[in-house]
Structure 1
Amino acid sequence: MSIQAENAKMSFRSKEPYNFLRTKSKKSKSEKSSEAKQCSSSENSKSSKADFMDHDFALYGRSGRRNTLPNLFPEGENLQSMMAKGKQKSQEDLTLPAIGKGSKDEQPLPFLDSLIKRKNKLRQSFHGTLSSTLPSSNKLLMRHGTSGKNKKGSSSSSQPSSCENSPFMKRVESTGRFRRKDAESSLDSNPSLPSTPNTETVETASISKSMTDEASDEPGGATMEGLARQALLAARVFHLIPVEKARERNFLQGRIASVSLMGKLELDKVLPQRELSIFIATWNMNGQQPPKDLNDLFLPADLEHVPDILVVGTQESYPDRTEWEVQIQETLGPSHVLFHSAVFGVLHICIFMRRDLIWFCSIPEEANVSTRTAAAFRTKGAVAIGFMLFGTSCLFICSHLTAHADKVKERVHDARRIIGSLELPKALPLRTKSKDATQNYDYVIWSGDLNFRLDQSREDVVQWACNDQAFPAEVPLILNGDQLRQVMEEGSAFNDFQEGPIHFPPTYKYDPGTDHFDTSSKRRTPAYTDRILFRSRLMHELKCKMYSSAHQVLTSDHKPVWALFSAKIRPGKDSVPLAGGQFNREVYMEGMKRRAAAMERRKGSSLICSVQ
């Protein structure tokens, strides 16, 4: 199609002024008649290409180059110039609704009215027909219809929308405004309409397709619900903030500025329920290489969704720790990234989290304590990582305490030394700074090979675990003679800490590669040496949802133990030192390459993977 022909088809668009953010002026009948004649004459030459041009122009515009969104503004105009023309309107009319949960802001009708008029004029110019006249500017509903023949040749008359008499429309017609939550509830109440997208971010290409499809679905144009949906989607993409409003805000005062990075609006957008799922895993690896398939450990079948944060602590770790981190990344996939990891001797702890959460975290701080200061190899002690997510502080500890059944006092001493020697926090502005590091954070989760045993004979424990008790147990196990529970009840160590109910068999000691308890010459008594404890500053804000073991993992003489927690998250202040979205990119890239290679092997065909 030549440029001249295309310009002729656009004549109606170029001659009609675009009233945006201005008071609508009524046109005389003579003006409407002249516009109709211009529209008709421009279509007589090539009416057979009307359908093609309707779709083509919406996607490509006058220039012929593909646009992400259909052009919403007239020739030579942009958003800034349009808003400048509407400065005589009140500040209220210039404000678009904030994109947040339960927003009560109201949307001015000129923005909606402009979308309606723009789409209707395009259809009139391409199809050579006149739709019914647009109601007054303080109404949202447009009664579309064609006065001639539709595509199949049958005549159709203008019909009012099915939702015209809804409470939502009555409010619109009486006040001239609509609230976003009213529009969404109106859309949800009509099951025949497509559902509203669940994601906060709406791709602009999807919006363009939605606008084009809705315009072609009905002979007379889009319904009121479709137009309202388009406006909401467009508002999500533009994220328009008036300069006057931006100048009034103070982005440096944290909670005073509701739109700050760590504030309430961002928190509700990222975590609508203000609740976080945390997965904790602890495993004494016995220095052995982990299995290639780690799904049973990090993605157990009992979980419904991948947790938001995964914290993995290992003792007697596999020497190649980077390889271990890459294997975890490969298992979790691209939705999670390695936020931070710390090493102390043979102790290792790493934190993977949802990749959108890294922007709302403080810088991570780490510390370590050795309980064997004179030893050449740091095999016993603890390593910890603390950070803040929004306004909630978290501390994760991985430890390995003194071994042997008769060393209870030594283990208690180790725990006390760790609590008093962890120098955390360092730069984080926490509310309290006690010598007891566990008292400084909102949530503390302590995991590791704590080495507490069962004060029973080996024969009794094996008989109970192998014959008398079925696993997983239907009720929480009492664990008679458990040294850890005795210590906690006496208050000797781990004050204010709790543990989830145990339903799984003992995690120590097994013949490596089997599910058989130790058959070596030492014949160790089975015990629950691998544990996960937790404490919360406020009750009921940190809850243990699941507590289990991964007995399918056979490479070590210990079985991994995991727990799932739900944690309440509070909004915070921007004054905390932020991590700035940093993560371990090398581990991420290598993990994604391995996933791509695995997919290629499974499919048996070439696969091109581009990771940027």
Structure 2
Amino acid sequence: MEDLSGALNSISLGQKDSELVDSFGLYVVTWNVASAEPPDDVYSLLHLSSPKKPDIYVIGLQEVRAAPLKFVSDLVFDDSWSHLFLSTLAPLGYVKVTSIRMQGLLLLFFSKLDHVPFIRDIQTTYTRTGLYGYWGNKGGVSIRLSFYGHMLCFLNCHLTAHMNNASHRVDEFEHILDAQIFDANNTPRILDHKAVFWFGDLNFRIADHGMHFIRTCITSQRFNLLWPKDQLTMMKEKETVLQKFEEGPLDFQPTYKFDLNSDSYDTSGKKRKPAWCDRILWRVLSKSLQEGVVEDGCDKEEQKKTREEDFPLRVTQECYTGKMDYNISDHKPVVAIFCLELRKMYDTPLVHVCAEGDWSADLDALISYSPLQSFSSGAWDWIGLYEVGFKSISDYITYTWVKDDQVAFIDELFQVYVSKDDIPVRGGECVLCYYSSNLQCIVGISQPFKVQGSRAAIEEGCLPENIDGLNQAVAS
């Protein structure tokens, strides 16, 4: 299997056209898990042994178990797959920024904490294509957002199956592109975004070749002999909507269809031919928008809104491979590592937030915050108290309303109140996060600070004197 270390280590700062640009590592996973429960760990899948970690993980799953009772419980609690990725990535400094699920389709977006205040304009949506659009076993789920001012969209699809449905798969994809509308003036549709990453179980097969020839090519690793008959490759030659999507070479063995808990291709009576069903493609919006050339049906007035400083954004694929060491499904997962090179549109958070004085569960506390840039502060904005290493935006310990709990306002410096009853009695290392209800995202994060445990609880013998002591007590 291809070594990913060099790809991850290659992601660094650089100079492009005499302008400083920043580089960010993006790690994309797609996997049809065939209703299986998660494996014991996903360290190999996420390549966590590398000393250089990506800035963003985007994980798209298909056929997550969606039985009615299971699906209802997953809406209330994190599903087992989300829980595994959360518990794996959170200790490494990643936060789940957002996610979306439609029956068996699940899309997760994780970011290093440092980037979270610069991820804005987050929206999610979905499109059903199963059973004439009424059933969500097939279709697409998407996450769109602004990353340092550059609009990105991630689309996870599960398209219709079977060899003779190649054209229908393209029709489904076009329907998803047409159906998904975002509440945004400049980027209302998927293809309006600066960069689009399209992945999933796209279900395209290898046409014409017989089973013996395909398996011989796989055994000899002469994958290139199969490329001309890959249905997605063939459809790109005649379908305009596909032609602007790029894909790395398929220099890994087909990821479908395997016997469960095995590395052997289908030995059942059906003996389905191996295929590259699981794919990751991307598309970068052309600079022609700023040169007055009409693209993708956009009118010229809309194009004028595209600012010169919005560019450049460069996407380079560093690695594209299958992960053959996972065998709980009849599909193998596929991963791609990208380098995003861009010039930040902003590098200051919207809000500066900090904890005032000493914090403990015995005293009421104050939070100070001040806007660093103009933005629309909403009546439902709040500041959450989180433990260092929190897993997701919803993982707060407590929160205070910015407007309702305000106690002071001096020269753009605001203070809000937190009751001691809401501060955790056991203490620990914490941060404060300002959440904008209008932007639907965190727009400011404090420096970590210490919350002292309750003295009364310690004196009563209920708690050790610090969080480390508590952990030791629990362990013993």
Q: Deviations over 1:402-453 (max 9, x none)?
A: 10001111111101101111112x14x53x54xxx23211110000000000
Q: How does 1:458-469 map to 2 (within 5 A)?
A: 458-466=211-219, 468-469=220-221
Could you say which residue in structure 2 is the equivalent of 1:308? Answer: 55
Q: Alpha-carbon deviation of 1:389?
A: 1.3
Q: 1:322 aligns with which of 64, 67, 79?
A: 79
Count of matched residue pairs: 312
Alignment partners' CA distance in 1, 2:382 and 2:337: 27
Contact 1:477 1:501 in 2 (8 A): no
Q: Alpha-carbon deviation of 1:299?
A: 1.6
Structure 1 length-normalised TM: 0.47
Shift of the 375–489 alpha-carbon distance from structure 1 to 2, 3 Å rule, reads: closer
Q: Alpha-carbon deviation of 1:570?
A: 3.0
Shift of the 485–577 alpha-carbon distance from structure 1 to 2, 3 Å rule, reads: farther
Q: Alpha-carbon deviation of 1:519?
A: 0.6
Could you say which residue in structure 2 is the equivalent of 1:524? Answer: 272
Q: Alpha-carbon deviation of 1:376?
A: 6.0
Q: How does 1:533-548 map to 2 (within 5 A)?
A: 533-538=281-286, 541-548=314-321
Contact 2:31 2:334 in 1 (8 A): yes
Q: Please tell me the root mean square deviation across aligned C-alpha atoms, in Å.
A: 2.9
Q: 1:371 aligns with which of 105, 129, 140?
A: 129
Q: Identity rate of aligned residues, in percent?
A: 29
Could you say which residue in structure 1 is the equivalent of 2:453? Answer: none
Q: Does 1:454 align with 2:206?
A: yes
Q: Which amino acid aligns with 2:79?
A: T
Q: Alpha-carbon deviation of 1:548?
A: 0.7
* SS of the residue 1:371 aligns to: strand
Alignment partners' CA distance in 2, 1:577 and 1:569: 26
Greater relative contact order structure (CA < 8 Å, 6+ sep): 2
Contact 1:362 1:577 in 2 (8 A): no
Alignment partners' CA distance in 2, 1:396 and 1:359: 19
Q: Which amino acid aligns with 1:311?
A: V
Alignment partners' CA distance in 2, 1:609 and 1:526: 53
Shift of the 336–421 alpha-carbon distance from structure 1 to 2, 3 Å rule, reads: same
Alignment partners' CA distance in 2, 1:438 and 1:490: 21
Q: 2:340 aligns with which of 567, 571, 575?
A: 567
Segments ≥4 residues shifted beyond 3 Å: 318-321, 373-377, 573-583, 585-589, 606-610
Q: 2:104 aligns with which of 335, 346, 349?
A: 346
Shift of the 518–478 alpha-carbon distance from structure 1 to 2, 3 Å rule, reads: closer
Shift of the 447–581 alpha-carbon distance from structure 1 to 2, 3 Å rule, reads: farther
Could you say which residue in structure 1 is the equivalent of 2:162? Answer: 404
Could you say which residue in structure 2 is the equivalent of 1:49? Answer: none
Q: How does 1:232-251 map to 2 (within 5 A)?
A: none
Alignment partners' CA distance in 1, 2:213 and 2:125: 41
Could you say which residue in structure 1 is the equivalent of 2:330? Answer: 557
* SS of the residue 1:279 aligns to: strand
Q: Alpha-carbon deviation of 1:571?
A: 2.9
Higher share in strand: 2
Could you say which residue in structure 2 is the equivalent of 1:197? Answer: none
Contact 2:38 2:80 in 1 (8 A): no
Q: How does 1:36-75 map to 2 (within 5 A)?
A: none
Shift of the 407–364 alpha-carbon distance from structure 1 to 2, 3 Å rule, reads: same
Could you say which residue in structure 1 is the equivalent of 2:231? Answer: 483
Q: Alpha-carbon deviation of 1:480?
A: 2.8
Shift of the 581–282 alpha-carbon distance from structure 1 to 2, 3 Å rule, reads: farther
* SS of the residue 2:229 aligns to: coil
Q: Deviations over 1:341-366 (max 9, x none)?
A: 00112111010100111111114101
Looking at CA atoms only, which structure, 1 or 2, has the larger radius of gyration? 1
* SS of the residue 1:412 aligns to: helix
Alignment partners' CA distance in 1, 2:86 and 2:337: 19
Alignment partners' CA distance in 2, 1:351 and 1:336: 10
Alignment partners' CA distance in 2, 1:506 and 1:339: 32
Q: Deviations over 1:271-294 (max 9, x none)?
A: x85111111000000000110111
Q: Does 1:497 align with 2:245?
A: yes
Q: Deviations over 1:41-94 (max 9, x none)?
A: xxxxxxxxxxxxxxxxxxxxxxxxxxxxxxxxxxxxxxxxxxxxxxxxxxxxxx
- Uncovered stretches (5+) of structure 1, i.e. residues with no partner: 1-271, 590-605
Q: Which amino acid aligns with 1:441?
A: H
Q: Alpha-carbon deviation of 1:374?
A: 4.1
Contact 1:338 1:587 in 2 (8 A): no
Q: How does 1:376-391 map to 2 (within 5 A)?
A: 377-391=135-149
Could you say which residue in structure 2 is the equivalent of 1:17? Answer: none
Contact 1:337 1:588 in 2 (8 A): no
Q: Alpha-carbon deviation of 1:587?
A: 6.3
Alignment partners' CA distance in 2, 1:493 and 1:370: 20
Q: Alpha-carbon deviation of 1:489?
A: 1.7
Contact 1:412 1:492 in 2 (8 A): no
